[in-house]
Amino acid sequence: MSMPPDQEVRAAVDAGEVSLDGDPRVARLVRVARHIEANADEPLTLASLAGIAGVSPSRLQRQFTAAFGVSPKAYQNEVRMRRFRQSLKDGDKVTDAIFASGFGSVSRVYGEATRNIGMPPRAYRAGGAGEVIVYACRPTALGLMAMAATDRGVCFVQFGDDEASLISSLKTEFPNAELAASPAQDAPELDAWVAALDQHISQGAPRPDLPLDMRGTAFQVKVWQFLLSIREGEVLSYSEVAAKIDKPRAVRAVASACGKNRIGVLIPCHRVLRGDGGLGGYRWGLARKRALLDAERKRRGD
């Protein structure tokens, strides 16, 4: 399971796997990546980055994408989004975090930056064809939990009464994928992620910041990405979420996106309520939604 692209580059350089004194082409690309990281809050053009690398813009686009799996623009958005999430963790207000991370507006965070997070529509319709999805189950304070992940990150967190029904749900969500139970020696990251989320649910540890492989339409991904900015113990109504993502008339669509969220707790759709303060719906039952909210309020001292 891979790290986000911006972390992969830094880790490879720090570990000596990518040397600035080795392959000249690799060195040029690393210099471009480091320049993006250092100036992520600035408007960067492909032409200016190509100047750093000493190649044409089209060649840089091809080489950078081939080396790191994302375009220079997408890489810059990855860096910005990571800083945005860190700012929120540090207690900054959402608006302050947006501008401190280099995004020019709320819509840029939940629009442009999320286009590279969701899977392509063709792959989405394919039901996971050609992918291997590893899963594991674990008892938690909310009942039995199943977590599954691709090599991009967690794609499924569900709760149920027995392992058979949870695996059946996973097969329904990804009917054409190859599913494999997780032996720790082959997928240690998943087992660690399952343990970290269990500690959050059952023992009140901080919610783990895990890589997510979101599967949905562009609108659904925009809603889910916004939900990640709602702090623990806070709640918003469906209409407030719609307004925050600059789609004030899409209240029902927001509610539908929350209902179709496959990644429970990690994407905190439980923090969205009806306009009258009622719990509204929850894919895994209102008792679980109430328990999550009560636990978060208790941790905040409310």
List, in order, residues 6 or more apart from 296 with CB less than 8 Å away: 232, 233, 271
The amino acid present at 226, given as its one-letter code, is F
Which of 155, 136, 150, 260 is closest to 198 using CA atoms?
A: 136
Record the tokens describing residue 294, joined without a space: 């009560």
Record the tokens describing residue 70, joined without a space: 């994302």
HSE-CB at 229 with a 13 A cutoff on CA atoms is 22
The phi and psi torsions of 208 (rounded to 5 degrees) equal -70, 140
The amino acid present at 62, given as its one-letter code, is R
DSSP assignment string, 86-149: HHHHTT--HHHHHHHTT-SSHHHHTTGGGTTTSPPHHHHHTTTTT-EEEEEEEEETTEEEEEEE
Active site residue 258: no
Which residue among the candidates 137, 155, 258, 269 is catalytic per the annotation? 269
If phi > 0 it is left, if psi is from -120 to 50 it is alpha, else beta; for residue 301 that is left
What are the catalytic residues?
269
